[in-house]
A and B are shown apart, each in its own frame.
Chain A
Amino acid sequence: DTAVSQTPKYLVTQMGNDKSIKCEQNLGHDTMYWYKQDSKKFLKIMFSYNNKELIINETVPNRFSPKSPDKAHLNLHINSLELGDSAVYFCASSQGGGGTGAFFGQGTRLTVV
């Protein structure tokens, strides 16, 4: 059983398009996250979300928006894609804010051409 799964694994799209990445966790965790990992492997948190609070990293452009239909899902919508958005995006989940460890999905490699 995959604990945190995200789809698609690869996404190639043109500049200006709108795309979504889906994430689901079956761990019963109450907090989910989106991370961006650049070519230098640096991990940058974009959002953390539980049923009470959405915390947005202020450096994330408002073209990026999280959508949570329920506790087990946190999707990432990206509008007007730019070349600089090319990266690997990871979904993760934890119980609470990560003080007992966060579990990551396998990542979505987004390439904007």
Chain B
Amino acid sequence: QQQVKQSPQSLIVQKGGISIINCAYENTAFDYFPWYQQFPGKGPALLIAIRPDVSEKKEGRFTISFNKSAKQFSLHIMDSQPGDSATYFCAASIRDSNYQLIWGAGTKLIIKP
């Protein structure tokens, strides 16, 4: 019940296309859902995050869509660029667990020029 399932494991998108990465969770107590971006040789960096009181959050070309009833959330990258090529992780946390993050397995995204 503590798991966060992320898909796909890898994704190849043409430059200018939309990249979509999905995550699903079981525990309805999760109340914070961040996405992290990791480039080779670097640590994960917080990209965008959402709380369950909203269904969508947009920051530039990055959008989180959140479906509370389906217990799913997704990251959309519009106008994908080669510089977006990285590994993306979704995560979730529960207030009662002192907000310790539960991580998805990661998606390796490659944007083809």
Contacts and interface: CB of A to CB of B under 8 A. Distances in A.
A107 B42 CA distance: 7
Among A31, A40, A104, A106, residue most surrounded by chain B Cβ atoms (within 10 Å) = A104
Contact of A55 (B43, B87, B95, B100): B100
Nearest to A43: B103
Contacts of B108: 41
A102 B105 contact: no
Interface stretch (A61-69, A79-87, A90-98): A90-98
Task: Classify the interface of chain B: helix, strand, loop or mixed.
Answer: strand
B100 A103 contact: no
Interface string B30-42: 0110100010011
B97 interface: yes
Given A41-B106, A41-B108, A42-B105, A97 B43 contact: no
Contacts of A42: 103, 105-106
Size class of B's contact patch? 20 to 34
B23 to A, nearest CB: 14
B29 interface: no
Given A41-B105, A97-B97, A106-B43, 18 more contacts: A4-B43, A31-B98, A41-B38, A41-B87, A41-B106, A43-B106, A45-B100, A45-B101, A55-B98, A92-B43, A96-B99, A97-B93, A97-B98, A98-B32, A98-B101, A99-B95, A102-B46, A106-B42
